[in-house]
Chain A
Amino acid sequence: MAEVPKKLTIPPEEHMCAGHLACQGCGAALAMRYALKALGPNTVFTVPACCWSVIDGPFPYTTLGVPLFHIAFEAVAASACGLAAGLEIMGKKGVNVVAWAGDGGTADIGIQALSGAAERNDNILYICYDNEAYMNTGVQRSSSTPWGAWTTTTPARHFKKRPKKDLVDIMVAHHIPYVATAAMAFPEDLVAKVAKAKDIEGMKYLQIFASCPPGWRMAPEYSVKSVRLAVNTRVWPLLEVEHGVYNINRKPRKRTPVAEYLKLQGRFAHLTEEQFEEIQGMVDRNWERLLFLEKSTHEMAGVPLKGDKAAASKGKETEAAAG
């Protein structure tokens, strides 16, 4: 067998196996693959009803090389806290307890347990893979669905007219040590963030933007491209909030119009040019708000804000991921 290539930017070890039940081009499967590369084999997952409770496969099989608990929809954060407490009582240290939920199980149904866990600052890592609707049950609207999107419960004529719930700010408001966003089109950044989060004591929250080709009504080959466009058009900013201090990890130098991201997906096909402009306005306002938050929180904490860190941090992340 040929040798493993030397110039890899993410670890070559795989802790999940092929043969899983994800759709073609699944973003959630990629997100799990990258997260596991950072977490390693000493990990326990709890998963509520979401795409991943199907992807993992039916009893008695599993896709992951680590234990995975299937939990009721609203209880994923609570079960993770219980696992963390149980491991602590048994004296088992260094086990990563990960709650892995979709956006419905996080923003809608699981938010009560999540808020409780965050308030108690239990030592768990909560990862939400955000595909912006209830994809597992057939694309119903969730509170994480963006403005203007088609779903089966918000048909094109009555598309969703409320903006996406800002879970990052909700989690920042809980004053937990680490909140971050990642996107599955930027695996180096994702692996570096998960690796950083697992070493932090207390509650960590990570939201991974993951595409869903069937739910977003696009061809599966655009799975990664669409998420990359979401980051480059500033629809999904990659940021880290450590003890309340904001850091935007990737600041795209040139401004890409949001229409490029929207036109790739059938779920936005009913929107007019004016509505594209409206979305552009929302995205621009949010970006300005984040830049302001980054500047002001750095000033308040007395940490100097580095200039354009996009290039510098990219190099560092690559090193961290390789090491």
Chain B
Amino acid sequence: MTEKIEIRGACDMPPMAKSLGRMSWNLTGSWRNVTPVIDYEKCTICMLCWKFCPDLAITCTEPPEIILDYCKGCGVCAEECPVNCIEMREGI
């Protein structure tokens, strides 16, 4: 994960326009007020949750796992799951 970069003045600026780091330091999981929980007994590994996750918070693995550091709790995965194995639980 990329660390936060501190820029105090012009001396810390890059010589030309470019990005210094990735946004991965920004743990968007704190935005969440409902949390998805996968019931692995029902999961058919269709990967639709991974495919439709706008926050890249579901791993492309067998079985898929939710990265709670980044999940914003939008609930798209629970809505799209064809076997309804993802439940949105109150709280983080």
Contact = CB atoms under 8 A, between A and B. Distances in A.
Contacts of A21: 23, 26, 28
Contacts of A18: 23-24, 28, 55-57, 67, 69-70
Contact of A220 (B2, B51, B76): B76
A16 B79 contact: no
Nearest to A223: B76
A4 B2 CA distance: 24
A306 B32 CA distance: 48
A30 B23 CA distance: 16
A301 B52 CA distance: 38
B22 to A, nearest CB: 5
Contacts of B67: 18
A265 to B, nearest CB: 15
Interface size, B (range) = 35 or more
A19 B23 contact: yes
Contact of B22 (A8, A17, A26): A17
A222 B78 CA distance: 10
B23 A221 contact: no
B22 A62 contact: yes
Nearest to B22: A17
Interface of A: 1-5, 7-10, 12, 14, 16-22, 24-27, 29-30, 33, 56-57, 59-63, 65, 68, 187, 213, 219-225
The 7 closest A-B pairs by CB, nearest first: A221-B75, A25-B74, A24-B74, A62-B19, A2-B61, A60-B20, A18-B70
